[in-house]
Amino acid sequence: MKRVFIVHGWEFSPEQHWYQWLKKELEKKGFKVIVPSMPNTAAPKIESWVKTLSNTVGTPDKDTVLVGHSIGCQAILRYLQKNGPVCGCVLVAPWFTLTPAALPDDDYQAIAKPWLETPITFTKVKTIAIFSDDDPYVPQENITLMEQRAGAKIVLDKEKGHFTSDEGATTLPSALKAVLELAK
């Protein structure tokens, strides 16, 4: 049975945005789906997020698909440095750089700094990265970076912002399509 793990973003929870919609849609198709609650979402730390993901996934295998949103993508990429193999990953609004709007004050900058500066060793994993053409936090240069660094297939959605429910993203058909593409 294919297992899907959906890793939410910074200051988010498993109940927000499109996560539960994707979970239900995949469960209808026979997937086992888990949306773990990541620790300390107000000030996420690399070590605790990777450890939580590792503990949640258990033993990854060719039937494991990882889906991340924003900083959840970072957690997945860092998890994959030491764990694998997996079937693939879907990264929604992944980033290596952020806009000034994402880092409005010293607190946000301090939280983001380790995520931005700690290098990632990329593993060969089928990756589909989904971006929005109007994301206020993730600059478009991340599209090229995802292609170059992760060898990702790129999907560009129109007017989805940062893929939050505040921006109308309570469903995300492109993520469903990407998971199904990887899992076939």
For the beta carbon of residue 149, count every other beta carbon within 10 angstroms: 15
What is the secondary structure of 49-76 as a DSSP string? Answer: HHHHHHHHH-S--TTEEEEEETHHHHHH
The fraction of the chain above a pLDDT of 90, given in percent, is 95
Judged against a pLDDT cut of 90, whether residue 165 lies above it is answered with yes
CATH 3.40.50.1820 fits 3-183, yes or no: yes
For the beta carbon of residue 4, count every other beta carbon within 10 angstroms: 23
Judged against a pLDDT cut of 90, whether residue 1 lies above it is answered with no
Average pLDDT over residues 93-108: 96
Query: How far separated are the first and last CA of the chain, in Å rounded?
Result: 12
- The ranges assigned to domains in the chain are 3-183
The pLDDT score that the predictor gives to residue 85 is 87
Average pLDDT over residues 85-110: 96
For the beta carbon of residue 80, count every other beta carbon within 10 angstroms: 24
Judged against a pLDDT cut of 90, whether residue 37 lies above it is answered with yes
